[in-house]
């Protein structure tokens, strides 16, 4: 074995603690990069393949009602390639527990095959007729339903029994949400069912009529032109909205998750690699300084500058290659678990764990690049050493007073050991910066993870406990006169009932536009608590409209602006409505109006299409027999669902906390060991003066405590920077996952950081006890 290679192995062995600790940081960074990147790639490639196979639609049109003939006439619109008319509505499922609310969204399909957004058969048979139904696989598995079982539904007030012919998935329901407010899927209480078109027409009372159309286009770039033409043609049929495929609810949420994973995979791992590179550069720089004589001898023996530079750089490169290999293998394995975890949210039948060589290659190259640069930066001084300079005795550095030393009033009251501490901190500025950065990174990342945990809890508890205070949200299948509330109160035996009118409209302001649901409420509503960003109560105005903060961001409007509300209700004109105020709303994107003002400006009659109920009673049984009930949401069920999924999210949060702890531990441990190795002579002299090993360790502990305290101080605003970066990931049109940084978050982060750093310090105590102080005094070179 060549001598330089043998020496490299000895270098690694003598610094194995630091070598392994830096290796762990590299492995952690590459593990996160590979797992997140591969999980995102798994989701994206599987989703695109699924859309290709199923012929996912380009345009989704919701109308009040349209005849088959009028729908077919739309094929003449230029650029429309194909279209499929459908009936879609929600129907309650009759279950043994009458207090349990379970519903299916029924879609009409061709009995044998549909051409757009095709069903993907997973079990049973695709062909159906009459009283036969295909169920979405997630719902069937959650309810324990088998092929051949019967399922009872209540449609238009009558009970119908369907035989389950098979389990399928549908490209428009890869993420099964009941509506834009529910965020998390609940396959036990809500699913999708597919019924033969003619039979569903007959039992729903919509013979030869449809309320939904899915369209594919010849050229997707011409979407806006097709949209305009369809708006003109469909206005008389009660056009609700036209949605492009990227805004289709399920597709949009899946892509937002994919984009979030990509952003995180490109951000956090780089932090770990930068930390590893910085420590490596510092370590190798110290090696070069201590090996000055050896480098001079090597050059005298004929070794070139490039070979010596490569010798020290290889130390760093070996960490990059080994860390890259281990990190990518572990990351690929972890990506499999992450992909399986996403199956609890997204249902993509083709979703599978795939080995992506390009991701692994990118990870290894990234690791090797960071470590190579670190090695070159750290070893650059080796080039400057000459044999003649190497054998000279190094001139002792002249001591000088530090700033604190000049303040006699304070300095004279500082103990001898604390004077050593402060002088070493100010004279070793690079080391002080590194150690403070270790504390800063640890508290910043732990603060971010603790904030994410409390933010998610805070958002849902505020939304489903403060912003919304109703117990039940009831939707009607059709609009009815507001006098129907009296009948509803009698049937369910509850007085606290408010009517609502919730309808989709297109809001336009300048070039900005957005389809949203506007909700009409009683002027003195008790079920909504509107507040601004500062927590101040906002009353529902008699005229004008309140809008959610995310809608204000999309439209770029402020209070006092007037937006154009495009009305698709036959006989009603488009109107300008003033934005009275902007409310803080975490989930959903809505406008809110006084129901009387909304009737006057947008609806034209005293209509409602739903109700809010406040009661401690379980009213599902009373509602199940009513013909016009389209769906019922219980806020308590939504809270329970959130707490079920927060346990799943907690696992990833705990992993992030551990990773942040690893970061701080490695920085403190590596820099402390480096400091101990450099200061053997100093510590030996202190031993001669009568200091015990414990007292010497106390000096190091005090130094690190001061530097860590400084790091913790500026680590808190650094954590805020990371949190602000995460806010951009968690803010979309549909939800705003945001919350203030609390004192509890900061306290938890500080306690966790101190724990990690203390553990790192205790590990280095063994280095002090194992030091050969007598040997250190024999030679300054040693």
Which residue range is the domain that position 352 belongs to? Answer: 1-58+244-392
Residue 68 falls inside a structural domain: no
Q: CA of 292: how far to CAs of 18, 48, 287, 308, 522, in Å?
A: 21, 58, 9, 12, 83
Q: Are 779 and 643 within one domain?
A: yes
Q: Measure the CA–CA gap between 10 and 31, rounded to whole angstroms.
A: 28
Q: Provide the pLDDT for residue 782.
A: 43
List Cβ neighbours of 621 (8 Å cut-off, separation of 6 or more). 98, 99
Residue 622 falls inside a structural domain: no
Q: Are 640 and 782 within one domain?
A: yes
Q: Measure the CA–CA gap between 279 and 299, rounded to whole angstroms.
A: 27
Q: Provide the pLDDT for residue 778.
A: 58
How would you class 484 by CB atoms within 10 Å of its CB: exposed for 0-12, middle for 13-18, buried for 19 or more?
Answer: middle
Q: Which helix (H) or strand (E) holds 188?
A: none
Residue 212 falls inside a structural domain: no
Is residue 234 within 8 Å of residue 59, measured between CB atoms? no
List Cβ neighbours of 414 (8 Å cut-off, separation of 6 or more). 404, 422
List Cβ neighbours of 440 (8 Å cut-off, separation of 6 or more). 711, 712, 714, 715, 718
Q: Are 517 and 573 within one domain?
A: yes
pTM above 0.85, yes or no: no
Is residue 498 within 8 Å of residue 521, measured between CB atoms? yes
Q: Are 484 and 453 within one domain?
A: no
Q: Are 501 and 459 within one domain?
A: no
Give CA 175 to chain center in angstroms. Answer: 15
CA dihedral 401, 407, 408, 414 (to 10 degrees): -80
Residue 297 falls inside a structural domain: yes
Q: Measure the CA–CA gap between 352 and 335, rounded to whole angstroms.
A: 10
Q: Which helix (H) or strand (E) holds 714?
A: helix 693-729
Q: Measure the CA–CA gap between 323 and 23, rounded to whole angstroms.
A: 6
Q: Are 676 and 726 within one domain?
A: yes
Q: Provide the pLDDT for residue 358.
A: 78
Residue 769 falls inside a structural domain: yes
- Give me the phi and psi of 617, to 5 degrees please: -75, 155
> Reduced to 3 states, what is the DSSP secondary structure of residue 564?
strand
DSSP one-letter code for 76: G
Q: CA of 677: how far to CAs of 683, 711, 773, in Å?
A: 10, 23, 11
SS (H, E, C) 446-462: HHHHHHHHHHHHHHHHH
Is residue 263 within 8 Å of residue 729, measured between CB atoms? yes
Q: Are 432 and 515 within one domain?
A: no
Q: Are 608 and 679 within one domain?
A: no
Residue 325 falls inside a structural domain: yes
Residue-wise pLDDT for 619-658, tens only, equals 776 776 677 777 777 787 777 777 766 665 666 667 777 8
Q: Are 262 and 295 within one domain?
A: yes
Q: Provide the pLDDT for residue 533.
A: 81
Q: What six digits make up the tokens of 382?
A: 């080796």
Q: Are 440 and 516 within one domain?
A: no
Q: CA of 683: how far to CAs of 286, 476, 589, 694, in Å?
A: 18, 81, 65, 11
Q: Are 560 and 701 within one domain?
A: no
> Reduced to 3 states, what is the DSSP secondary structure of residue 327?
helix
Q: Measure the CA–CA gap between 760 and 750, rounded to whole angstroms.
A: 15
Q: Provide the pLDDT for residue 366.
A: 84
Q: Are 278 and 302 within one domain?
A: yes
**What are the start-end ranges of the E strands in 22-157?**
59-67, 80-86, 88-92, 103-109, 120-124, 132-136, 150-155
- For the chain, the domain total comes to 4
Give the end of a domain, one of 556, 580, 615: 615
Residue-wise pLDDT for 709-741, tens only, equals 888 999 899 888 888 877 776 666 667 777 788
Tell the residue number behind the tokens 């150690």, with chain if given: 435
Q: Provide the pLDDT for residue 475.
A: 83
Residue 514 falls inside a structural domain: yes
Q: Provide the pLDDT for residue 401.
A: 66
What are the residue ranges in the chain where pLDDT is below 50? 1, 780-782
Residue 714 falls inside a structural domain: yes
């Amino acid at each position: 074995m060549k001598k330089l290679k043998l020496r490299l192995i000895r270098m690694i062995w003598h610094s194995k603690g630091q070598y392994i600790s830096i290796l762990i940081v590299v492995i952690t960074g590459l593990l996160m990069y590979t797992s997140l990147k591969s999980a995102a790639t798994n989701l994206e490639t599987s989703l695109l393949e699924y859309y290709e196979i199923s012929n996912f639609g380009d345009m989704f049109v919701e109308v009040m009602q349209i005849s088959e003939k009028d729908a077919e006439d739309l094929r003449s619109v230029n650029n429309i390639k194909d279209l499929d008319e459908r009936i879609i509505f929600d129907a309650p499922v009759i279950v043994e527990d009458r207090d349990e609310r379970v519903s299916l969204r029924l879609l009409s399909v061709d009995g044998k095959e549909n051409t757009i957004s095709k069903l993907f058969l997973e079990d049973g048979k695709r062909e159906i007729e009459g009283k036969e139904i295909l169920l979405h696989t997630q719902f069937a598995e959650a309810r324990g339903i088998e092929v051949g079982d019967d399922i009872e539904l209540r449609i238009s007030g009558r009970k119908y029994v369907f035989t389950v012919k098979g389990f399928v998935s549908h490209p428009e329901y890869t993420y099964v949400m009941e509506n834009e407010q529910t965020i998390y899927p609940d396959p036990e209480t809500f699913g999708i069912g597919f019924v033969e078109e003619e039979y569903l027409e007959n039992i729903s009372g919509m013979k030869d009529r449809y309320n939904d159309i899915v369209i594919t286009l010849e050229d997707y770039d011409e979407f806006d032109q097709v949209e305009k033409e369809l708006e003109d043609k469909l206005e008389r049929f009660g056009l609700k909205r036209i949605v492009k495929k990227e805004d289709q609810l399920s597709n949009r949420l899946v892509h937002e998750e994919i984009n979030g994973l990509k952003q995180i995979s490109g951000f956090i791992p780089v932090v770990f690699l930068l930390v590893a590179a910085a420590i490596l550069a510092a370590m190798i720089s110290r090696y070069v300084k201590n090996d000055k004589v050896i480098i001079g001898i090597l050059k005298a023996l004929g070794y070139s500058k490039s070979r010596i530079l490569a010798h020290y750089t290889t130390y760093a490169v070996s960490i990059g290659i080994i860390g890259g290999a281990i990190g990518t293998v572990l990351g690929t394995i972890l990506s499999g678990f992450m992909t399986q975890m996403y199956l609890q949210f997204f249902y993509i039948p083709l979703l599978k764990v795939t080995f992506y060589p390009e991701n692994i290659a990118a990870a290894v190259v990234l690791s090797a690049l960071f470590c190579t640069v670190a090695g070159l930066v750290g070893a650059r001084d080796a080039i400057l050493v000459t044999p003649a300079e190497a054998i000279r005795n190094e001139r002792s550095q002249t001591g000088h007073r530090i700033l604190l030393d000049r303040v006699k009033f304070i300095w004279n009251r500082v103990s001898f050991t604390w004077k050593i501490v402060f002088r070493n901190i100010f004279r070793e500025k690079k080391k002080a910066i590194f150690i403070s950065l270790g504390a800063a990174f640890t508290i910043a990342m732990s603060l971010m993870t603790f904030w994410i945990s409390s933010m998610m809890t805070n958002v849902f508890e505020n939304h489903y406990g403060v912003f919304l205070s109703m117990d039940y949200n009831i939707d009607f299948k059709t609009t009815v006169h507001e006098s129907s509330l009296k009948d509803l109160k009698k049937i369910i035996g509850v007085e606290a009932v408010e009517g609502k009118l919730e309808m989709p409209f297109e809001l336009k302001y300048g070039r900005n536009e957005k389809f949203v649901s506007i909700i009409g409420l009683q002027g003195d509503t008790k079920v909504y608590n509107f507040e601004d960003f500062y927590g101040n109560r906002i009353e529902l105005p008699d005229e004008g409209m309140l809008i959610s903060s995310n809608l204000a961001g999309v439209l770029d409007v402020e209070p006092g602006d007037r937006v154009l509300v495009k009305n698709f209700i036959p006989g009603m004109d488009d109107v300008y409505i003033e934005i009275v105020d902007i409310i803080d709303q975490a989930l959903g994107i809505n406008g809110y109006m006084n129901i009387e003002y909304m009737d006057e400006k947008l609806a034209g009659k005293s209509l409602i299409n739903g109700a809010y109920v406040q009661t401690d009673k379980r009213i599902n049984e009373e509602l199940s027999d009513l013909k016009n009930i389209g769906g019922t949401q219980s806020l308590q069920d939504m809270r329970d669902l959130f707490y079920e999924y927060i346990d799943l999210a907690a696992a990833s949060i705990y992993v992030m906390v551990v990773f942040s702890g690893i970061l701080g531990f490695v920085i403190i441990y590596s820099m402390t060991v480096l400091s101990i190795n450099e200061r053997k002579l100093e510590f030996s002299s202190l031993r001669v003066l009568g200091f015990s090993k414990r007292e010497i360790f106390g000096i190091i502990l005090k130094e690190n405590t001061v530097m860590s305290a400084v790091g913790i101080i500026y680590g808190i605003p650094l954590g805020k920077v990371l949190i602000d970066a995460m806010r951009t990931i968690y803010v979309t049109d549909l939800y705003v996952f945001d919350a203030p940084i609390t004192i509890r978050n900061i306290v938890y982060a500080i306690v966790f950081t101190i724990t990690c750093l203390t553990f790192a310090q205790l590990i280095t105590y063994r280095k002090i006890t194992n030091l050969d102080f007598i040997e250190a005094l024999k030679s300054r070179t040693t």
